[in-house]
């Protein structure tokens, strides 16, 4: 029992679409694209009957759909994904060197904070308490919020100078 002429035509067309798409994509993706193209041909181009008309149209459609798949994959970052097994896990424990460096940093920071002026120490304390700049403005009685931004910038610059010009390493 043979297929009807239209079904036979669509089966030939499907084979060609799959071969074309599989030459550029994985087989499963090619099958999916062929199915989408055939559905589109059935819905929008059912008036076309000849293979000579359908084949170039279907290949153009599948080419557009392949571009769309690649754009979507690039947008999602699928080409640059790294396997979870390839990512080294950090050691949650501190090495003795890390611990000593951290302690030195804390000591340098405490010494530098002690050398800051009263306004800077108060500003830093309020920031560490989680206060917003608007709240700090009210507490410190500044005229505008820009004043607080300026004080904050100057205090951080002074703190950096007192720490030797670098947050990590003493100079």
Q: How confident is the model over 110-166, as pLDDT tens digits?
A: 999 999 999 999 999 999 999 999 999 999 999 999 999 999 999 999 999 998 887
Instruction: Looking at the structure, tell me whether residues 77 and 100 fall in a common domain.
Output: no
| Domain finish residue from 82, 105, 121 | 82
Does residue 171 sit within a domain?
Answer: no
Domain housing 39: 5-82
47 in a domain, yes or no?
yes
Tell me which DSSP letter residue 164 carries. T
**Residue found by looking up tokens 């153009």 in the block:** 60
Residue 152 backbone phi and psi in degrees, to 5: -60, -45
Q: Which of 82, 104, 135 is the last residue of a domain?
A: 82
Separation between Cα atoms, residue 23 and residue 38, nearest integer Å: 18
Residue 124 sits in the same domain as residue 64: no
Q: How far apart are CA 61 and CA 48, in angstroms?
A: 15
Q: Model-level pTM?
A: 0.45
Total of domains in the chain: 2
Digit-coded pLDDT (tens) for 23-59: 888 888 889 989 999 899 888 988 888 888 888 898 8
Query: How many Cα atoms within 13 Å fall on the side-chain side of residue 162?
Result: 19
Task: Give the pLDDT band of residue 1 (cuts 50, 70, 90).
Answer: very low
Please determine, for residue 81, whether its predicted confidence score (pLDDT) is greater than 60.
Answer: yes
């Amino acid at each position: 029992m043979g297929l009807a002429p239209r079904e036979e035509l669509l089966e030939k067309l499907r084979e060609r679409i799959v071969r074309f798409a599989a030459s550029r994509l994985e087989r499963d993706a090619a099958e999916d694209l062929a199915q989408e193209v055939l559905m589109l041909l059935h819905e929008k181009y059912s008036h076309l009957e000849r293979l000579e008309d359908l084949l170039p149209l279907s290949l153009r459609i599948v080419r557009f759909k392949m571009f769309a798949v690649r754009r979507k994959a690039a947008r999602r970052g699928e080409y640059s994904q790294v396997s979870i097994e390839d990512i080294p896990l950090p050691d949650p424990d501190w090495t003795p060197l890390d611990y000593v460096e951290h302690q030195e940093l804390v000591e340098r920071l405490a010494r530098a904070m002690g050398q800051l002026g009263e306004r800077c120490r108060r500003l830093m304390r309020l920031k560490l308490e989680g206060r917003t700049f608007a709240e700090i403005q009210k507490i410190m009685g500044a005229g505008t919020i820009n004043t607080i931004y300026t004080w904050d910038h100057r205090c951080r610059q002074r703190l950096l100078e007192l720490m030797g010009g670098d947050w990590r390493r003493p100079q």
